[in-house]
Structure 1
Amino acid sequence: MLRLSLLLLLLPCSSYSMLLGWVESPGYPMRYLPHASLNWSRCAPKGQTISIRLIHLDLENSQDCENDAVKILSNGNRIAVLCGKKEYEELQDIVNPLLFSSPGGCLTLLFHSDYSNTKRHTGFKGFYTLQDFNECEDDPNNECTQFCHNFIGGYRCSCRHGYHLAQDKHTCTVNCAKDLSGLKRGDISSPSWPESYAEHANCKYTLSVEENLQLELHFSEGFDVEQRPDGHCVDELRIETHSETLGPFCGNKPPPSPLLTYSSHVQIHFTSDGFGTNKGFNLNFKTRDKVCRSVVTSNSKVTPLKQEYHRGESVTVTCDLGYEVNSEENEAILTQYETTCQSTGVWAPSYPCEIVDCGLPYIGANSILQVVDGQNTKYNSQIKFYCSSEYYTLDGNDTYTCNANGEWTSVDGNAGMPKCNEVCGMPETDPTTTGRILGGSKAKPGEIPWQLLIKSPKRGGASLINDQWAVTAAHVVEGIRADFLELYGGLIDGQSANISPIRITKIITHPSYSTAPPSKTQTNFDNDIALIKFTSKVKLGPNLLPVCLPEVNRGVSENEQGTVSGWGATIVNDRERIKTKFLQYVHIPVYSLAECMNTPYTPSNEAMTFTNNMFCAGGEGMDSCHGDSGGPFVSPFLSSGGPHYLIGIVSWGSNCLEGAGKGKKKGYYTKVDNYVNWIKKTINEN
């Protein structure tokens, strides 16, 4: 009975306290052994706390309690580390007031002893209790704005007379929501006007009248809504219409009076915080006929310009520069329209002025487009064009801007998009030695990258003029179906098996080229030119590049030096004719017109025809030969540097093998500058 009485004296005085149990060290009260330990933990329900009150503590004393110790934690955070011997009064006054959990939290006690005790220590003993947490007194964040009432496990809030609890069950506010729809006159004021308005007010006043009327607000003197020193509103008044929000208003300066809302439906909002003694506001509302405002739509202006317009008045709406009328009725870009003020205070018709969008432009082949302003293609945005590889060059400006007409224009104001054209006539390696087709040395890779080889059905040559077209002699491809033609590019070894043929989709011979009847030898090679179109674009590279076309009517000059190339026949030991395996080339001069007109005869003693569409060239022991037909004659000659132009196509000539490669040779070539217009027109149409 004496022990129980002592325990009751130790309990706290709270009427909500109740004893839950004891906690003590292993072996208490005799002694605890070395390497003893205890891990104890309890948790409190919501709205309550758990505490430990030690009545005895006798442990080995050590520096920072590193030997034997009791550690007490609240929700994992250490609140006490104890060791040594403490008297009962010290425990009660200093230690025990610290040993409690947070509301709804957990309390943990950890005890351990080391390997030895030099003296006998009895350990510790305490009891733990569960107590109600008084949120009203001990929790400054209980959220009740007026009255707080505590109960076991929680609390509740209540309000003074004239207030009610909001939905959060903590905030006391006033009931100041009013629907005044249908009234054409009246007064609205903050709660308790002209006395200080209530804290935590959240008022909404609704006004609604006929569509042809508008509400106007007249504020009385004494406007007083709490405002911070920096001008920002603490409490605020806002006025919302169907099209805009006016405010917030605060301080001592009322809104302009009368305040024209231009609307038949208005909501007035007033909110306050939990502090302050300001008076608030008072206003009188009434109605008047609606008028139209001077702004029909954004990004535009109206003419004639007035502050307001009455029913039946019309204006012209003109969109700002770079904006257009968004009307589904018109596909073309419009920048202005007529509109009329209606009795309801709105303009009809009314179309928005939206920023002009040029859209993504057409990107030609081999072009890369970069939008400078992210993905924005609207007025004043910029785009840049690049070519896809070093083997193309940009024809036109690289930077374009979206103008007010919805068109992309270059920085110098020119319309139209740039193109990526093939780099032509610029081999990466020019020959440094002079070879010969008749017994000459072979070309190196990349020296004549426009040279193409026709293997079948007839052996001949062709020249690459862009990434999808080649030009050759008409007599090389006459009567041949496109899918039967074997055409190769990017090689110097004519017998290479590592390169696939270029697929052909179309062969177009010049319409004025004519062949001889089957029973006669052909003596007229006028207009000996044809175009070859590939199924798809070839990939350009150092060994496959186009040659340049000459200017129209460029002409060919006597003694002009050029280079002719091909896989035609060559001479071995000055007498034997063979088909060369490797690409050959030779530099030869152009002959005079008189020399060219002195044409050879056929075996049947018929003179060959020379026309203005031809020229001839050759040299001592140097000329094109059998199998070179359709191949290129370029100027300037290769070792002189580029760009190189295709001025001739190997067409016909004297017997290049007569005289075993000795003496003056003469070959005839189609004069390409006479056909540049036909070439470009044919390519554009096909």
Structure 2
Amino acid sequence: MVNKVAAFLFVCAALARGLPHGGKPGHLEARTSSVPNRANAFQRMVVPQQPRRNVSGTKRVEGCGVAPLAPSKESRLYGGRETIPHEYPWNVVVWMDHSWWCGGVLISDEWVLASGGCVKGSGLLQMLFGAHNRDQWEESQVTYETDEYYVHEDIDNPNRFDNDIAVIKLRQPIGLNDYIQPVCLPSYTDAADAANFVDVDVIATGWGADTHGYHHELQYLNLKTISTQQCIDIYGNFITDLYICTSGDRGVGICNGDSGSPLNYVKDGITYVRGIGVFWAAAGCGAELPSGFTRISKHLDWISEKTGIAIDP
């Protein structure tokens, strides 16, 4: 995550398209590799057969979107800062084949929402829950392994980022506690009102990079959503309402390592995941250009079909 104005801070090496000519906006940087050798690692992976589990009925996720250890929300500075430990107990670190990592978000005691581009082609997935410092052992941390996941059938990667979404099935339900909690999914009412989700305060959380490298402690960014048309005006018709874009004012935005991490929206004291990180500008993470997120409200039927999670009206 980047909170300083500095163009050309980071350029992703793995799937990069190159810098914009003359520094002009309109070129997107491909998703982070999270480690320098992802391109080679990706080429060696064999795409496993997607599991075909029969989901019996649907179930609601009770008590979602509540962080027991979160403090009262004082006024936050605009820009990235370290979160209070376990303020966002749904943030997950997802490791693919011990080779690279991306962010994820817990949406029930059995399912994790992630970036399809990150997990596609992986065999073994390892997920770290209950972490504040992802590189230091904490009593709250729990690690699960699985090879069961669904990547959206219509994902367009790496050429574009359409339908960049996946769900990961835990081999057994995870025990929920003060440090590990699911976030809420949007409702169908939210989906119907998606066009009006503009100029809204949202919070991105993740362990992604800034000018000093990847963060060990979970970070947050206060962001503001912009309209699809505003995003098109900068990046071109590649952008559709499959994405939520956030303003890049003051060089604030997501970066390497934030793919799959949640865009949090708080309503009536409950937190909802409205997006997961997917792209930033080729000019650099701090180039004052918009960040892009997969719009979760466009994929509610797909999530429910794969997971059996009931979506609120």
**TM-score exceeds 0.5:** yes
More strand by share: 1
- Corresponding letter in the other structure for 1:582: E
The SS at the match of 2:82 is coil
CA deviation string 1:155-207 (max 9, x = no partner): xxxxxxxxxxxxxxxxxxxxxxxxxxxxxxxxxxxxxxxxxxxxxxxxxxxxx
The SS at the match of 1:501 is strand
1:624 maps to which of 237, 254, 274: 254
Taking the TM superposition and a 5 Å limit, the aligned residue runs for 1:115-130 are none
| Correspondence for 1:675 | 299
2:184 maps to which of 544, 548, 562: 548
Taking the TM superposition and a 5 Å limit, the aligned residue runs for 1:45-56 are none
Taking the TM superposition and a 5 Å limit, the aligned residue runs for 1:182-193 are none
2:119 maps to which of 466, 470, 477: 477
| Correspondence for 1:447 | 87
Cα distance in 2 for partners of 1:683, 1:674 equals 16
Q: CA deviation at 1:547?
A: 0.6
1:642 maps to which of 269, 272, 278: 269
The question of whether the paired residues in 2 share the 8 Å contact of 1:455 and 1:487 is answered with yes
- Corresponding letter in the other structure for 1:591: I
Cα distance in 1 for partners of 2:283, 2:144 equals 30
1:633 maps to which of 251, 259, 263: 263
| Correspondence for 2:152 | 510
The SS at the match of 2:81 is coil
| Correspondence for 1:53 | none
The SS at the match of 1:503 is strand
Q: CA deviation at 1:426?
A: 1.2
Cα distance in 2 for partners of 1:655, 1:433 equals 32
User: Are positions 1:589 and 2:224 aligned together?
Assistant: yes
The question of whether the paired residues in 2 share the 8 Å contact of 1:566 and 1:585 is answered with yes
Q: CA deviation at 1:435?
A: 5.9
CA deviation string 1:475-503 (max 9, x = no partner): 1111111xx22211111101023434212
CA deviation string 1:122-174 (max 9, x = no partner): xxxxxxxxxxxxxxxxxxxxxxxxxxxxxxxxxxxxxxxxxxxxxxxxxxxxx
User: Are positions 1:496 and 2:131 aligned together?
Assistant: no
- Corresponding letter in the other structure for 2:255: C
Distance 1:654 1:677, change over 3 A: same
CA deviation string 1:371-426 (max 9, x = no partner): xxxxxxxxxxxxxxxxxxxxxxxxxxxxxxxxxxxxxxxxxxxxxxx977431111
Taking the TM superposition and a 5 Å limit, the aligned residue runs for 1:97-176 are none
The SS at the match of 2:161 is coil
CA deviation string 1:44-89 (max 9, x = no partner): xxxxxxxxxxxxxxxxxxxxxxxxxxxxxxxxxxxxxxxxxxxxxx
Cα distance in 1 for partners of 2:274, 2:166 equals 15
1:654 maps to which of 269, 272, 281: 281
Cα distance in 2 for partners of 1:676, 1:589 equals 23
Taking the TM superposition and a 5 Å limit, the aligned residue runs for 1:397-416 are none
The question of whether the paired residues in 2 share the 8 Å contact of 1:434 and 1:586 is answered with no
The SS at the match of 1:459 is strand
Cα distance in 1 for partners of 2:301, 2:88 equals 25
The question of whether the paired residues in 2 share the 8 Å contact of 1:458 and 1:477 is answered with no
Distance 1:647 1:419, change over 3 A: closer
| Correspondence for 2:308 | 684
The SS at the match of 1:670 is strand
Q: CA deviation at 1:608?
A: 7.7
1:535 maps to which of 165, 171, 183: 171
| Correspondence for 1:567 | 207
Cα distance in 1 for partners of 2:127, 2:237 equals 29
The question of whether the paired residues in 2 share the 8 Å contact of 1:422 and 1:546 is answered with no
- Corresponding letter in the other structure for 1:541: N
Structure showing greater radius of gyration is 1
Identify unmatched segments of 5+ residues in structure 2: 1-57
More helix by share: 2
The SS at the match of 1:633 is strand
Taking the TM superposition and a 5 Å limit, the aligned residue runs for 1:183-262 are none
- Corresponding letter in the other structure for 2:300: V
User: Are positions 1:423 and 2:63 aligned together?
Assistant: yes
Distance 1:589 1:465, change over 3 A: same
The question of whether the paired residues in 2 share the 8 Å contact of 1:527 and 1:670 is answered with yes
Distance 1:657 1:433, change over 3 A: farther
The SS at the match of 2:117 is helix
Identify unmatched segments of 5+ residues in structure 1: 1-417, 517-521, 572-576, 601-606
The question of whether the paired residues in 2 share the 8 Å contact of 1:436 and 1:584 is answered with no
The question of whether the paired residues in 2 share the 8 Å contact of 1:450 and 1:546 is answered with yes
| Correspondence for 2:3 | none
Cα distance in 2 for partners of 1:641, 1:631 equals 22
| Correspondence for 1:193 | none
The question of whether the paired residues in 1 share the 8 Å contact of 2:81 and 2:221 is answered with no
- Corresponding letter in the other structure for 2:251: G
The question of whether the paired residues in 1 share the 8 Å contact of 2:204 and 2:263 is answered with yes
| Correspondence for 1:395 | none
Cα distance in 2 for partners of 1:593, 1:644 equals 23
The question of whether the paired residues in 1 share the 8 Å contact of 2:206 and 2:220 is answered with yes
Q: CA deviation at 1:505?
A: 4.0
1:526 maps to which of 162, 168, 175: 162
TM-score for the superposition, normalised by structure 1? 0.33
Tell me: higher relative CO, structure 1 or 2? Use CA pairs within 8 A at least 6 residues apart: 2
Cα distance in 1 for partners of 2:283, 2:215 equals 14
Distance 1:682 1:631, change over 3 A: same
1:468 maps to which of 100, 110, 128: 110
TM-score for the superposition, normalised by structure 2? 0.71
Taking the TM superposition and a 5 Å limit, the aligned residue runs for 1:429-440 are 429-430=70-71, 431-434=73-76, 440=80
Residue identity (%):
24
2:240 maps to which of 602, 611, 619: 611
Q: CA deviation at 1:599?
A: 4.3
- Corresponding letter in the other structure for 1:613: L
